[in-house]
A and B are shown apart, each in its own frame.
Chain A
Amino acid sequence: MTDTKPFLALSGLTKAYPGVVANSDVSLSIAPGEVHALLGENGAGKSTLVKMIYGLVKPDSGQMQMNGAPFAPSEPRAARAAGVGMVFQHFSLFDALSVAENIALGMENAPKMGALSQQIRDVSDIYGLPLSPDRVVGDLSAGERQRVEIIRCLLQEPKLLIMDEPTSVLTPQEVEILFKTLRKLSAEGTAILYISHKLEEIRSLCDSATILRLGKVVGECTPAETSARDMAEMMVGTVLQTPTRAGKTPGDVVLDLKNLSAKSPSAFGMPLRDISVQVRRGEILGIGGVAGNGQDELLAALSGETLSAQGMVSFQGRDVGLLGPTPRRSMGILTAPEERLGHAAAPDMSLTENAMLTGAEREGLDKGGMLNWPAARRFAEKIIADFDVRTPGPGNAARSLSGGNLQKFVIGREVLQRPDLLVVNQPTWGVDASAAASIRQALLDLAENGTALIVISQDLDELMEISDRFAALNEGRLSEPRSAQGLTVDEIGLMMGGAHGMEVAHV
């Protein structure tokens, strides 16, 4: 922060979508070399704001200035030409293409492949981000994929680097390495706009922060001098309730996995390797790990979407590995997958129909093949009432609900069916803080009443808050579960696989 003149200044940016104002009169400025945090909950308007800077979305009103001159990129190409680079959270890599090809696609004047590969090697050496240009991106780990994006930006020598939730796919050790890279860039004069909702990270990395709530700027601060609690309250707007739980002693073994191995159903998925673990009545087993290390596959193997060989999965003493989802559900194994739209729920179907989707057996909605729709409607209404789902009624389509409300519906649908074993993947992903708290409370209550739970999540704070025991998935293997109490971040990081291949890096 040698220069006080801002590199980029936004003033009065407003952008509305039908039914929602994503950004309202947002102003902020970033100086060269400054690491500026953009803080806010999911849905606070962070993504829309950076999309405007990157030329993906046009503001309805307001101005942007770069180095004092008007800046209005009509498309990402123009933004990139002006020195803006962006590392996306999702959706910007091509699985079937090589690292070099992926990088070439993000550059304006990509050199020949041979020369580009050399440049990639050079940059990855300088910034301590080891990466082989010839590998196919689909085979890379989440951390390595992020390196592809970062290097793609760095090759353009950006003056402003936008990072959208970069650490959600990294182990704690990998986060440290990323921060070293970012600090080095900042020292070289690159401005960094860092989007996150993780407060501790922001406190250790960022020079200044702008806090967004419901599309508006609600505060600015210097993170190092502000407590995490204060920032959280600015972000959420209310004082947070932490879930309560009573101490308890686990009961009988409900689920017993013995050397569970299974292929992944998708081309670039992760096979499960030799997973052995027991879960008891009244116990919550938290499973962490970087995304793409077998989370979806584990849920599918438990729900019955993928079958496994004899003896690998037993439930209350019975071998269920060869049973499909319907018989498992009848026995009391209920699950809620991560992807809400399209997996846990059918987007264009009504909530009544979506209640039928998993409720047919246990709620008695299916009488010899004939479906009882009025009863399904009542079940849907009960979920809506008990879980405070905001919707005009059960006749509305699933996709018309906001992410948080749909998640409450999906979790509520399973919880209300009195499971003996409940497996949930990312129960609070993309859900606002108060809804997240109520979902966590529902899970704790369920455990209290004797259900065995497996909670798979990438949010370590969440797992530490509700789990009795903790284990991590790494390359399809599950670490030895340990009691959640007293685990340190370093220990968790090592369980998650430490820094993938980062030992060779010399920063």
Chain B
Amino acid sequence: MDLSVINPLLFIAGFLVAATPLIFAAMGELVVEKSGVLNLGVEGMMITGAICGFAVAVETGSPLLGFVAAAIGGALLSLLFAFLTQITLANQVASGLALTLFGLGISALLGQSYVGVKPPRLGDINFGPLTDIPVIGPILFTHDIILYLGIALVAATWAVLKFTRAGLILRAVGESHDAAHALGYKVVRIRTMAIMFGGACAGIGGAYISLIRVPQWTEGMTAGVGWIALALVVFASWKPWRLLLGAYLFGGITQLQLNLQGAGVAIPVEYLAMSPYVITIVVLVILSRDKSAAPASLGRNFHASS
């Protein structure tokens, strides 16, 4: 065992990368849940985004176009969920599971010819002299644009939810769809838009894994990140900045266990690999006492009967 092989600077830079897919997926889900909808299909939308992004990036040679395609792919898949839960009023838990099962299948189908292919690389942003600042430079200024977009997404979501009328309406719909309807807000339309936003975010998160973090395509490569993202929303009590913190925490744990595996620590690889999941459970237990922050209509279907 040789812990000295872990370079602290690379470790921190690495966990910022590990956290980014989580930030996107969880941020999208946070908005969806704020509108009162529980979409358990995050994993399915992520993996679909991962393959859509990967395929388009490989075919066009442009990783950025790949991310656009990933967002579209995720949003399209989420539209299926929106149809089931908003139009046909199907159970949200079952529909979310269906989305995940379907997404895993469709991504495997789409990805057949991409196994083993190397995607084009998305270069880091050139910050010029900033990169040369000791310690801070290598940690903060050696990343691609999507990573910074993730942080911007957190800030933007926070601001929109807190300060704008659109955010207020979204929260109101999630709080009581009957009251919102009585005031004349279009509950189904607002929720559908939130679901599509969540799908697009999850898609980008998935593509970040297949295009940047790994980067290659394998079936089922999201390996539960979508589910951890769901847990993260609970962890964050539906608050954007807490969500960012949580994503870094999980990113850190993932990166740490990978580094420990590399350093040949005496713990078997499998036990290190299960640690993020175990820690997710532990965190859920600690934080599940307080559910008061959850949107009151979460998971309930709305039908304007009269």
A contact residues vs B (CB 8 Å cutoff)? 17, 48, 51, 55-57, 75-77, 80, 88, 91-97, 101, 104-106, 110, 267
Q: Which residue of A lies closest to B291 (CB)?
A: A267
Cβ of A94: which chain B residues have Cβ within 8 Å of it? 171-172, 175-176, 179-180
Evaluate whether A93 and B179 lie within 8 angstroms (CB atoms) in the complex, with A101-B168, A105-B168, A110-B165 already known.
yes
Q: In the complex, are the beta carbons of B172 and A105 less than 8 A apart?
A: yes
In whole angstroms, how far apart are the Cα atoms of A51 and B169 in the complex? 22
User: With an 8 A cutoff between CB atoms, is B266 at the interface?
Assistant: no
Question: What 1/0 mask marks residues of chain B from 17 to 60 whose CB sits below 8 Å from any chain A CB?
Answer: 00000000000000000000000000000000000000000000
Q: In the complex, are the beta carbons of B165 and A104 less than 8 A apart?
A: yes
In whole angstroms, how far apart are the Cα atoms of A95 and B175 in the complex? 7
User: With an 8 A cutoff between CB atoms, is B219 at the interface?
Assistant: no
B206 to chain A, nearest CB (A): 32
User: With an 8 A cutoff between CB atoms, is B292 at the interface?
Assistant: yes
Q: In the complex, are the beta carbons of B175 and A92 less than 8 A apart?
A: no
16 contacts between A and B (CB under 8 A): A76-B183, A76-B184, A91-B178, A92-B182, A92-B183, A93-B179, A94-B179, A95-B296, A97-B171, A101-B172, A104-B168, A105-B169, A105-B172, A105-B180, A106-B183, A110-B165
Q: In the complex, are the beta carbons of B306 and A17 less than 8 A apart?
A: yes
Cβ of B176: which chain A residues have Cβ within 8 Å of it? 91, 93-95
In whole angstroms, how far apart are the Cα atoms of A91 and B184 in the complex? 12
Evaluate whether A57 and B175 lie within 8 angstroms (CB atoms) in the complex, with A95-B296, A104-B165 already known.
no
Chain B contact residues, majority secondary structure: helix
In whole angstroms, how far apart are the Cα atoms of A101 and B175 in the complex? 12
Interface residues of B in 103-146 (CB under 8 A from A): none
Evaluate whether A55 and B182 lie within 8 angstroms (CB atoms) in the complex, with A17-B306, A105-B172 already known.
no
Q: Which one of A77, A80, A91, A104 contacts B179 once the chains associate, using CB atoms below 8 Å?
A: A91
Interface residues of B in 172-206 (CB under 8 A from A): 172, 175-176, 178-180, 182-185
Cβ of A105: which chain B residues have Cβ within 8 Å of it? 168-169, 172, 180, 183, 185
Interface centre among A80, A92, A95 (most CB of B within 10 A): A92
Evaluate whether A88 and B182 lie within 8 angstroms (CB atoms) in the complex, with A57-B306, A96-B296, A104-B165 already known.
yes
Q: Which residue of B lies closest to A138 (CB)?
A: B296
Q: Which residue of A lies closest to B182 (CB)?
A: A92
A96 to chain B, nearest CB (A): 5
Q: In the complex, are the beta carbons of B171 and A75 less than 8 A apart?
A: no
Additional 16 contacts, C-beta under 8 A, given A17-B306, A91-B178: A48-B306, A57-B306, A75-B184, A80-B184, A88-B182, A92-B179, A93-B176, A94-B171, A94-B176, A96-B171, A97-B168, A101-B172, A104-B165, A104-B168, A105-B169, A105-B185
Cβ of B184: which chain A residues have Cβ within 8 Å of it? 55-56, 75-77, 80
A430 to chain B, nearest CB (A): 15
Q: Which residue of B lies closest to A91 (CB)?
A: B178
A347 to chain B, nearest CB (A): 13
In whole angstroms, how far apart are the Cα atoms of A265 and B179 in the complex? 22
Cβ of B178: which chain A residues have Cβ within 8 Å of it? 91
Sorting the interface of chain B by its residue count into under 10, 10 to 19, 20 to 34 or 35 or more gives: 10 to 19
B226 to chain A, nearest CB (A): 27
Interface centre among B168, B180, B183, B292 (most CB of A within 10 A): B183
B15 to chain A, nearest CB (A): 34
In whole angstroms, how far apart are the Cα atoms of A89 and B180 in the complex? 14
Q: Which one of B168, B180, B182 contacts A56 once the chains associate, using CB atoms below 8 Å?
A: B182
In whole angstroms, how far apart are the Cα atoms of A141 and B296 in the complex? 19
Cβ of B169: which chain A residues have Cβ within 8 Å of it? 105
A505 to chain B, nearest CB (A): 27
Cβ of B179: which chain A residues have Cβ within 8 Å of it? 91-94
In whole angstroms, how far apart are the Cα atoms of A93 and B180 in the complex? 8
Q: In the complex, are the beta carbons of A267 and B292 less than 8 A apart?
A: yes
In whole angstroms, how far apart are the Cα atoms of A153 and B178 in the complex? 18
Q: Which residue of A lies closest to B185 (CB)?
A: A105
Q: In the complex, are the beta carbons of B182 and A96 less than 8 A apart?
A: no
A13 to chain B, nearest CB (A): 15
In whole angstroms, how far apart are the Cα atoms of A55 and B183 in the complex? 10
Q: Which one of A48, A76, A96, A104 contacts B175 once the chains associate, using CB atoms below 8 Å?
A: A96
B163 to chain A, nearest CB (A): 9
Cβ of A76: which chain B residues have Cβ within 8 Å of it? 182-184
Q: In the complex, are the beta carbons of B182 and A97 less than 8 A apart?
A: no
CB-based closest 7 A-B pairs:
A76-B184, A94-B175, A91-B178, A92-B182, A92-B179, A77-B184, A75-B184
A198 to chain B, nearest CB (A): 23
Cβ of A48: which chain B residues have Cβ within 8 Å of it? 306
Cβ of A104: which chain B residues have Cβ within 8 Å of it? 165, 168
Cβ of A101: which chain B residues have Cβ within 8 Å of it? 168, 172
Interface residues of B in 269-306 (CB under 8 A from A): 292, 295-296, 306
Q: Which residue of A lies closest to B295 (CB)?
A: A96
Q: Which residue of A lies closest to B163 (CB)?
A: A113
In whole angstroms, how far apart are the Cα atoms of A75 and B186 in the complex? 10
In whole angstroms, how far apart are the Cα atoms of A80 and B171 in the complex? 22
In whole angstroms, how far apart are the Cα atoms of A455 and B292 in the complex? 32
In whole angstroms, how far apart are the Cα atoms of A97 and B175 in the complex? 8
In whole angstroms, how far apart are the Cα atoms of A288 and B176 in the complex? 28
In whole angstroms, how far apart are the Cα atoms of A93 and B175 in the complex? 9
Q: Which residue of B lies closest to A93 (CB)?
A: B179
In whole angstroms, how far apart are the Cα atoms of A55 and B296 in the complex? 26
Cβ of A92: which chain B residues have Cβ within 8 Å of it? 179, 182-183
In whole angstroms, how far apart are the Cα atoms of A115 and B91 in the complex? 42
Q: In the complex, are the beta carbons of B172 and A97 less than 8 A apart?
A: yes
Cβ of A55: which chain B residues have Cβ within 8 Å of it? 184
Cβ of B180: which chain A residues have Cβ within 8 Å of it? 94, 105
Q: In the complex, are the beta carbons of B182 and A91 less than 8 A apart?
A: yes
In whole angstroms, how far apart are the Cα atoms of A77 and B165 in the complex? 15
In whole angstroms, how far apart are the Cα atoms of A56 and B175 in the complex? 20
Q: Which residue of A lies closest to B293 (CB)?
A: A96
Cβ of B168: which chain A residues have Cβ within 8 Å of it? 97, 101, 104-105
Cβ of A75: which chain B residues have Cβ within 8 Å of it? 184
Q: Which residue of B lies closest to A113 (CB)?
A: B163
Cβ of A93: which chain B residues have Cβ within 8 Å of it? 176, 179
Cβ of B183: which chain A residues have Cβ within 8 Å of it? 76, 92, 105-106
A210 to chain B, nearest CB (A): 21
In whole angstroms, how far apart are the Cα atoms of A57 and B182 in the complex? 11
Q: Which residue of A lies closest to B186 (CB)?
A: A75
Cβ of A95: which chain B residues have Cβ within 8 Å of it? 175-176, 296
Cβ of B185: which chain A residues have Cβ within 8 Å of it? 105
Cβ of B175: which chain A residues have Cβ within 8 Å of it? 94-97
In whole angstroms, how far apart are the Cα atoms of A51 and B182 in the complex? 9
In whole angstroms, how far apart are the Cα atoms of A51 and B180 in the complex? 15
A402 to chain B, nearest CB (A): 14
Cβ of A267: which chain B residues have Cβ within 8 Å of it? 292
Q: Which residue of B lies closest to A76 (CB)?
A: B184
